[in-house]
Amino acid sequence: MGSFPNNVVGGRSAANNGGPSVVDKGVDFAQYFCTYSFLYHQKEMLSDRVRMDAYFNSIFQNKHHFNGRTVLDVGTGSGILAIWSAQAGARKVYAVEATKMAEHARLLVKANNLEGVVEVIEGSIEDITLPEKVDVIISEWMGYFLLRESMFDSVICARDRWLKPTGVMYPSHARMWIAPIRSALGDQKMSDYELSMEDWYGFMDDTKTYYGVDMSVLTKPFSEEQRKYYLKTSLWNNLHPNQVIGSAAIVKDIDCLTATVEDIVEVKASVSSSITVENTWLCGYGGWFDVHFRGRNEDPAQQEIELTTAPSMENSTHWGQQVFILHPPIRANEGDNLNVSFSMNRSKENHRLMEVEFGCEITQYSGKLLPSLRNKFFIE
Amino acid sequence: MGSFPNNVVGGRSAANNGGPSVVDKGVDFAQYFCTYSFLYHQKEMLSDRVRMDAYFNSIFQNKHHFNGRTVLDVGTGSGILAIWSAQAGARKVYAVEATKMAEHARLLVKANNLEGVVEVIEGSIEDITLPEKVDVIISEWMGYFLLRESMFDSVICARDRWLKPTGVMYPSHARMWIAPIRSALGDQKMSDYELSMEDWYGFMDDTKTYYGVDMSVLTKPFSEEQRKYYLKTSLWNNLHPNQVIGSAAIVKDIDCLTATVEDIVEVKASVSSSITVENTWLCGYGGWFDVHFRGRNEDPAQQEIELTTAPSMENSTHWGQQVFILHPPIRANEGDNLNVSFSMNRSKENHRLMEVEFGCEITQYSGKLLPSLRNKFFIE
């Protein structure tokens, strides 16, 4: 056999763990949590200045939410948010981390002389118990396109079990955005796909010629596998703002204080977007998110902070944007109108991955209605 | 958070599934089997001409082992070995495959008009039942450096349950080899490591300056993590024969007809190797394997076939060789003698991955004994 080392191919799929309803914790750990047990990966996140500035400012420009209060940090990782909360005057901070990273967090807390305030607890939030309810729940739970990783489930669980009725969520709100884009990625991926098929045909001939086995029956499944991989899987990309060719629309608006798992397990929206660029190409859709730190109505932030992962020249983040390719691209013009029906569900194979569907009706400025589009994608 | 898609970082580790003794099947599937459910990966293996020729010739140059006999193919994948066995005249072939690839194998068998002979069974060999014992067990079970993946365990299980007392194993023998090598990989990886540490120090300063948190306590664990990743993890490489600077030695010799799991769960050997190149550098060790198709004493092969993954200019395989880096390299000269104590065990975190230790005593041609070396590596 000789499978590639895990880090080459493993990610092309995730084993069936029974789907969202039944999550095998061991499988989930193998597929998901282990990533976060590497300091290298923590460092990548801690080096994201946009991310760091937003959380840093949300805490230190709103000390009144932390001063003398109790805080729960869900998925503390290296412990940075817990440490900031303590530095902002928290009386007690519970820093919960499911991976061995908890040991590093403990070291970091001690080295910054906060072991009297920050208590690092190794365990998953669903399993652990706190001695008291808290005034603030802070967490950096956002995955690609917000909901990949499904970590907000754990924040909801923490909120329902441990947040005081008067408590505040950090962040307090989150939104998912989509917009029509132009991009060369589609042509690239299409030629990658075509090359891999050429390769297949050569392989098929050789196998017949040298080894007497006719592989042609596998051409269709192989091409489907490759189509999914190259064309139907969303791509991480740092879009330039001028690649966005139409108005961006919100497909999900989450109040972190009240949202339930039912509210986020499926995302459905019908939105419209108008093309804002002369004589261009619609090559696909971009997807991103933003979150806000506003406190709660009865106990608002003094300084509202926004963390956005929208396309930007100076302020790109490690989240980038997710790109969903349309191939072939479609001619588009200023004033054309897109009616987009968007839906996102969790993958049956792995509840932390997503399946996305875009429907699109294009009405040209002239009034002409183009044949409608329907495309399915996977976020892996 | 925003973890990299599974296919970028996942492989840096494997979650703790309780170690060799307790293997969680779901975790094992998530980490291991899913790789083989991709036609893309099957194609990679089916395109390995050295691999294909060896199995093809072993079967068709030894038809007497197959003609009118019953065969079990363990981990049939696309079904190629089962199909060849049938084409060589087998009366019945049981083709067992744990992944969904079984469905493709079934299609391939039918398309090649062998559904009367080849029965594809989806399931793991440990779980399935056959209606009869078989004359031949054929399997391509070899991982990197032979034993990575620990798939031979399943072949042993199949043999003990389903092979007739007179049965034949394909392949019948397997050997692990090591040899002293020179390579530029060590310097490369060392500079990668050094760069990642420079990067860390810059990150540490920024985090202190901009975010008021002193990260220095994590420098040691970070450097250990990076050392493991860059310097202590064996590297896949296609070595040029002239990179082998000394005699190769066998560290394990397996008779597939009699070997037990106990025999392979740990590999231990003391071997000696003499440097055969003038004025060179010992940069590490190369590890590879070969297997042989010899039938059994009472029922030998008519044509013995060898499949070797040794360094080669024309006949390289997808297995390549595993390279274990010594850094800094050591001056070596023709006639220097290496006494190498080798040991390999399964990783506690994932029984399909390995931990390797090399001890080395170098006696120079002059008779001078150099300070002895001891190095630990991980095969991931």
- Is B302 a member of any domain? yes
- Is A151 a member of any domain? yes
Q: How confident is the model at residue A32 (pLDDT cuts 50, 70, 90)?
A: confident
For the record, the structure tokens of B322 come out as 């595993």
- A26 and B24 within 8 Å at the Cβ level: the answer is yes
Q: What is the ipTM of this complex?
A: 0.89
> What's the domain range around A214?
185-231
CATH number at residue B245: 2.70.160.11
- Provide the 3-class DSSP secondary structure of residue A91: coil
Q: Chain B residue with minimal CA distance to A379?
A: B5
- B217 and A107 within 8 Å at the Cβ level: the answer is yes
Q: Are residues A93 and A220 in the same domain?
A: no
- Chain A nearest CA to B216, separation (Å): 8
Q: Are residues A214 and A248 in the same domain?
A: no
Mean pLDDT to the nearest integer, A20-37: 70
- B1 and A143 within 8 Å at the Cβ level: the answer is yes
Q: pTM score, two decimals? A: 0.91
- Residue whose entry in the numeric block shows the structure tokens 């080894």: A211
- Is A47 a member of any domain? yes
- Is A375 a member of any domain? yes
Q: Are residues B283 and B328 in the same domain?
A: yes
- B2 and A217 within 8 Å at the Cβ level: the answer is no
Q: Are residues B152 and B218 in the same domain?
A: no
pLDDT at B16: 35
Q: Is the pLDDT of residue A34 over 90?
A: no
Q: Chain A residue with minimal CA distance to B33?
A: A15
- Chain B nearest CA to A358, separation (Å): 21
- B142 and A1 within 8 Å at the Cβ level: the answer is yes
CATH number at residue B26: 3.40.50.150
Catalytic sites of B, residue numbers: 140, 149
Cβ atoms within 10 A of the Cβ of A259, count? 19
Residue of A103, A122, A132, A140 marked active site: A140
Question: What are A355's strand-pairing partners?
Answer: A345, A378
- Is A319 a member of any domain? yes
Q: Write the pLDDT tens digit of every residue in B265-321.
A: 999 999 999 999 999 999 999 999 999 999 999 999 999 999 999 999 999 999 999
Q: What is the DSSP string of B14-76?
A: ----STTTS--HHHHHHHTGGGGG-HHHHHHHHT-HHHHHHHHHHHHT-GGGTTT-EEEEET-
Q: Write the pLDDT tens digit of every residue in A266-278.
A: 999 999 999 999 9
Q: Are residues A124 and A164 in the same domain?
A: yes
- Chain A nearest CA to B106, separation (Å): 10
Q: Are residues A89 and A23 in the same domain?
A: yes
Residues of chain B contacting A88 with CB distance shorter than 8 Å: none
Q: Is the pLDDT of residue A74 over 50?
A: yes
- Is A3 a member of any domain? no
Q: Are residues B18 and B165 in the same domain?
A: yes
The answer to whether residue A140 is catalytic is: yes
- Is A1 a member of any domain? no
Last-in-domain residue among B148, B171, B194: B171
Instruction: Kindly report the backbone phi and psi dihedral angles of residue A26, in degrees, each rounded to the nearest multiple of 5, phi listed first.
Output: -65, -45
Q: Rg of chain A's alpha carbons, rounded to an integer?
A: 23
Nearest to A38 among B13, B26, B34 (CB): B13
Q: Write the pLDDT tens digit of every residue in B87-138.
A: 999 999 999 999 999 999 999 999 999 999 999 999 999 999 999 999 999 9
- Is B1 a member of any domain? no
Mean pLDDT to the nearest integer, B218-245: 97
CA distance linking residue A215 with residue A208, whole number of Å: 7
Q: Are residues B261 and B217 in the same domain?
A: no
Q: Are residues A65 and A161 in the same domain?
A: yes
Number of separate domains in chain B: 3
* Residue type, position B137, single letter: I
Q: Are residues A221 and A104 in the same domain?
A: no
Nearest to B27 among A30, A84, A111 (CB): A30
Q: Write the pLDDT tens digit of every residue in A331-343.
A: 999 999 999 999 9
Q: Are residues A205 and A258 in the same domain?
A: no
- Chain A nearest CA to B363, separation (Å): 35
- A31 and B24 within 8 Å at the Cβ level: the answer is no
Q: Are residues B112 and B211 in the same domain?
A: no
Residue of A44, A97, A103, A149 marked active site: A149
